[in-house]
Chain A
Amino acid sequence: MMTASAISRSPAQPPPVIDARRLTKRFAGMTAVDSMSLTVGRQEMVGLIGPNGAGKTTMFSLIAGSLQPTSGELWISGHEVSREAPERRIGHGLARTFQIPKPFAEMSVLENLLVGGQRQQGEGLIANFLKPAAVRAEEKALIEKARGLLDFVTLSHLEHQPARVLSGGQRKLLELARVLMADPDVILLDEPAAGVNPALLEIIIERVIALNKQGKSILLIEHNMDMVSRLCSRVVAMALGKLLAEGTPAEVASSPAVIEAYLGGGA
């Protein structure tokens, strides 16, 4: 099977939104991600699967920058970002959600979204005093955008509630809406279906499909194979930090290596 980075592209094609080359992350005494390569193209939906402890979330953290790779390279939309701080990656169009959602618990649902807005003048200390009118106008536009997104993820009725009152599934939706405030090109979704009731799950799936239709790329970690096959054209399977298989959902699901990894409980 071809590794992702070996796929040839013509120079006219835009670079992939995510191009991870032989990323490795070692923690004290163990290698959580071992020379993993992975690409996500424009408007592509890719699934990342593997048994628990395979290193999927660690791979996400490497791509998002909250962990520094021990070795390897990472390119986002043609920019080398291997050593860049996590807060700079959203500027390249990369957004992530968390396996265990991280709402700003004491802030309202609406405020949670407002934090997601990029390049806000009002986030400058001085601008709040020197350009109050510009800041107010910007804030108004941001609130309008946030309300639109809350509607999109069906949380409008909770706008003024503190985020801590949300259910697990609602938190996943909140995180999705929050990163959408940044108009990302590619979204990393870490187990969006885990612990979500079926009704909410259907909403999440529909919304992800809609986002993809709008042109966004998605990299999805998910155990629910049914969801993965519905969403993803290509699936990457990993175990023990390494790439196991890559291909269409059907190909990967029938791969002997993948079956063995799942039956062997990841060992």
Chain B
Amino acid sequence: MTLDILAYAAFFLSMALTYAIICLGLNVQWGMTGLFNVGIAAFVAVGAYTSALLTTPPSPDRFGGFELPIFVGWLGAAITSGLLSWAVGALTIRLRSDYLAIATFGIAVTVQLCMLNLQPITGGAFGIGFIPRPFAVLQENALLFSLANFAVMAVVVLALYLALEHLAKSPWGRVLRAIREDEMAAQALGKGPIRFRLQAFTLGGAIMGLAGAAQAHFIGFIAPDNYMPILTFQVWAMLIVGGSGNNRGAIAGAILIWGLWALSAAAVSTFVPAEQQARAASLQIVAIGVGLCLMLLWRPRGLFGEVSPLTRLKSLRAAPSKE
């Protein structure tokens, strides 16, 4: 019994940590740089599908799989999502800040349509199954399997956390802060804001792609349903609750909101009659929304946050990039 609980805890935390990775990516874009991404789901999805195509066994009814090792899939996921972010950023970052938001929204819709309709590559609405899972040999023993997977996620999150903290304190991170505080002054000192913003947006997108791959291999199958706008909403809620601008906050927020999501799912399945459950699932979104509002009222900066998201939005409105 306690072993079951332990296995479940490991499973729950592993899943939460995959969200923590996405959230760390968003923190690079928004928390460190002030870039508004409303198409997070797209960058996660592209990572997930890339890794799935690279690592699944060959399938007669679609392109690929190439049966490559899992770490190659992860790497490919980060690179593909990074490239996509770079392309979106290169087209829009030099424009007014709202254009990037619109572009990321457009990408989310486009990727959604591609997943559904490019059946020969993505498997359409059914998605892709048989994605190899790390430590599959341990699958007989649920506890050991969950713990091993949890250990991998924990190591990835820890490594990413340390790398991002290193960057935040580096001269690179310092330039990002300078640009955020006064773009014109930073420019006069030779720091091109577009170059640094584009780098941050690309890095954030690559991290989201990595998270997509991690999730895909953890669950073992993917489908377009996993990458609906609700995912973008969840990750934003995680970052705001945890505190934007802070990597520890991004991780804590992910665990907290994922916990709220799982709890509300349990509540729905316990208290709502079976035939109503599909509809009642939207109560989970309400739960997160309420959690978010409570946090904004109680602590506008989030658990660990540096700048309140409301202040940030206001200052973006007040001073859109120049001209």
Check A124 for interface membership: any CB of B closer than 8 A.
yes
Bound-state CA distance A182–B185 (Å) is: 13
Q: Which of B170, B177, B190, B191 has the most CB of A within 10 A?
A: B190
| Residues of A contacting B171 in the complex (Cβ-Cβ under 8 angstroms) | 114, 117, 120, 122-123, 128, 135, 139
Complex partner residue of A90 from B170, B178, B189, CB under 8 angstroms: B189
* Interface of chain A residues 70 through 119 with chain B (CB within 8 A): 85-88, 90-91, 95-96, 98, 102-107, 111, 114-118
A115, B186: Cβ atoms closer than 8 Å: yes
A128, B186: Cβ atoms closer than 8 Å: no
A115, B189: Cβ atoms closer than 8 Å: yes
A202-222 vs B, Cβ < 8 Å mask (1 yes, 0 no): 000000000000000000000
A128, B189: Cβ atoms closer than 8 Å: no
A122, B172: Cβ atoms closer than 8 Å: yes
Q: Which residue of B has the minimal Cβ distance to A127?
A: B172
Q: Which residue of A has the minimal Cβ distance to B190?
A: A90
Bound-state CA distance A66–B190 (Å) is: 12
Check B23 for interface membership: any CB of A closer than 8 A.
no
B172, A123: Cβ atoms closer than 8 Å: yes
B184-195 vs A, Cβ < 8 Å mask (1 yes, 0 no): 111111111100
B182, A87: Cβ atoms closer than 8 Å: no
Q: Which residue of A has the minimal Cβ distance to B193?
A: A87
B170, A106: Cβ atoms closer than 8 Å: no
Check A54 for interface membership: any CB of B closer than 8 A.
no
Q: Which residue of B has the minimal Cβ distance to A142?
A: B171
A182, B190: Cβ atoms closer than 8 Å: yes
Q: A125-B203, A139-B171 are in contact. Are A104 and B185 (CB under 8 A)?
A: yes
A95, B186: Cβ atoms closer than 8 Å: no
| Residues of A contacting B184 in the complex (Cβ-Cβ under 8 angstroms) | 66, 86, 98, 102
Complex partner residue of A88 from B178, B181, B182, B190, CB under 8 angstroms: B190
Check A64 for interface membership: any CB of B closer than 8 A.
yes
Check B175 for interface membership: any CB of A closer than 8 A.
yes
Bound-state CA distance A225–B187 (Å) is: 31
Check A21 for interface membership: any CB of B closer than 8 A.
no
A115, B170: Cβ atoms closer than 8 Å: no
B138-169 vs A, Cβ < 8 Å mask (1 yes, 0 no): 00000000000000000000000001001100
| Residues of A contacting B50 in the complex (Cβ-Cβ under 8 angstroms) | none
> Distance in Å from the Cβ of A104 to the closest Cβ of chain B?
4
| Residues of B contacting A88 in the complex (Cβ-Cβ under 8 angstroms) | 190, 192
Q: Which of A64, A90, A115, A129 has the most CB of B within 10 A?
A: A115
Check A176 for interface membership: any CB of B closer than 8 A.
no
Check B80 for interface membership: any CB of A closer than 8 A.
no
A64, B188: Cβ atoms closer than 8 Å: yes
Q: Which residue of A has the minimal Cβ distance to B167?
A: A128
A116, B189: Cβ atoms closer than 8 Å: yes
| Residues of B contacting A86 in the complex (Cβ-Cβ under 8 angstroms) | 184, 187-188
> Distance in Å from the Cβ of A204 to the closest Cβ of chain B?
19
Bound-state CA distance A118–B175 (Å) is: 12
| Residues of B contacting A115 in the complex (Cβ-Cβ under 8 angstroms) | 174-175, 178, 186, 189, 191
Q: A85-B192, A86-B187, A86-B188 are in contact. Are A107 and B170 (CB under 8 A)?
A: no
B189, A179: Cβ atoms closer than 8 Å: yes
Bound-state CA distance A135–B171 (Å) is: 9
| Residues of A contacting B167 in the complex (Cβ-Cβ under 8 angstroms) | 125, 128
Check B199 for interface membership: any CB of A closer than 8 A.
yes
Q: A111-B174, A120-B171, A135-B170 are in contact. Are A105 and B187 (CB under 8 A)?
A: no
Residue pairs across A and B with Cβ atoms less than 8 A apart, 25 shown, are A66-B184, A85-B187, A87-B192, A88-B190, A91-B190, A98-B185, A98-B188, A103-B185, A104-B178, A105-B181, A106-B181, A107-B181, A114-B171, A114-B174, A115-B178, A115-B186, A117-B171, A120-B171, A123-B171, A123-B172, A123-B191, A125-B199, A125-B203, A128-B166, A179-B188
Interface residues of B (CB under 8 A from A): 163, 166-167, 170-172, 174-175, 177-178, 181-182, 184-193, 199, 203, 322
Closest 5 CB pairs of A and B: A122-B171, A102-B185, A90-B190, A87-B192, A104-B181
New contact pairs (15) apart from A66-B187, A104-B181, A135-B170, CB-CB < 8 Å? A66-B188, A86-B188, A87-B190, A91-B190, A95-B188, A98-B185, A98-B188, A102-B184, A103-B182, A104-B178, A105-B181, A115-B174, A122-B172, A123-B171, A124-B172
